[in-house]
A and B are shown apart, each in its own frame.
Chain A
Amino acid sequence: MKAFSRSRIAIALLTFTTGLAIAQVAMQPIPQDKVNIRFVSKQMNVPVEGKFRKVNASVAFDPAKIDASKAQFDIDLNSIDLGLPEAETEVKRPAWFDTAKYPKATFVSTGVKSLGGAKYEIAGKLTIKGITKDVTAPVTITQKAGVNDVAGALTIKRLDYKIGEGTWSDTDTVANEVEIKFTLSLPSTKK
């Protein structure tokens, strides 16, 4: 091959791979201590706070390539912490999360968009107890030294996912609305 067309091929290949790199943002797994998913529900109007101790989160975030940003959460439902052992036992039963059949809840993002400044909106599919629903959540991402702090909240209706069925479906006793609050600490490429 002549040197001329070899360099053209090289340039073409280089452009192609760079193009691929620009279009993708790598998914990074997030260490357990950098992700926190908690929630507040209500029984007889008494707030019950809980959290999940085991969450596998992977995030690809780049403010310059917001369309390519993604997030995925796998939540180990058996790791629920309600501060009340009786309630924790109950909530794993078939009328609730049915963790024997559905040990995980997952969220897979379908898109992230910027709302200006530090505000974003993430959309995705939330699957709990075999039921998938489209959800969106407002999120703020603030940059600190080498770190992107993500904070967001999302209110779901537990009955949409059949959480607390049968006698537990009375929403005067256990409210339908559950507020989920999540925070993550992402490493930032900026210094």
Chain B
Amino acid sequence: MLGLYVSDLPFSPQRLRLISYHKWIGITVFLLVLFRLLWRTTHSAPALPDTIPQWQKLAATATHGLLYLLMVAVPLSGWLFSSAAGVPVVYLGLVRLPDLIGADKALAANLKELHEILNYVMLGVVIAHVLAAIKHHFIDKDAVLVRMLPFIKPRS
């Protein structure tokens, strides 16, 4: 959302600040996603209850896979865009991250588009994911949503 807001701002100190914060948030999310992926290689998610038909289980797995893919692709495309635009990413204003590619104006324009499109796609998948979770809770009345909460004991 910050990215969307910032991209329409006129050039100003405020814009420079917000773009930097946007990049810091992006890199932080990217790191968290990498940790999550690492975690998932050794810890599988709880199995979906058998009350859920097979096709829905497949749809869920595919959606979650797509979400992970997007959660990596979105920040990565942003980082690539920044590098191609000739603007290094300095994480938290402290750590200069390597430029993933060299400055290239034409490529930067394309990467900007890609970053925007990927964000919209991810937004769409997130909405679908949230709607599905709500359906499970209110329509199917199964435990799929609440079992994610730390203080709810899992119903076996």
Contacts and interface: CB of A to CB of B under 8 A. Distances in A.
Contact of A44 (B86, B93, B103): B93
Interface size class of B (residues with CB under 8 A): 10 to 19
Interface residues of A, number: 17
B11 A87 contact: yes
Interface in B130-155: none
B50 to A, nearest CB: 52
A110 to B, nearest CB: 36
A64 B82 CA distance: 50
B13 A46 contact: no
Contacts, number: 39
Q: Is the interface of A mostly helix, strand, loop or mixed?
A: mixed
A45 interface: yes
A174 interface: yes
B90 A45 contact: yes
Interface stretch (A65-73, A119-127, A165-173): A165-173
Contacts of B85: 84
B86 A84 contact: yes
Most buried by A among B11, B14, B103: B11
Interface in B1-54: 11-14, 16-17, 19-20
Nearest to B24: A44
A92 B85 CA distance: 21
B13 A83 contact: no
B11 A90 contact: yes
B11 A44 contact: no
Interface in A40-87: 43-48, 83-84, 86-87
A46 B17 contact: no
7 contacts: A44-B16, A44-B90, A44-B93, A46-B88, A86-B11, A167-B13, A174-B13
Given A44-B93, A170-B13, A173-B13, 7 more contacts: A44-B19, A45-B94, A46-B90, A47-B96, A90-B11, A168-B13, A174-B13
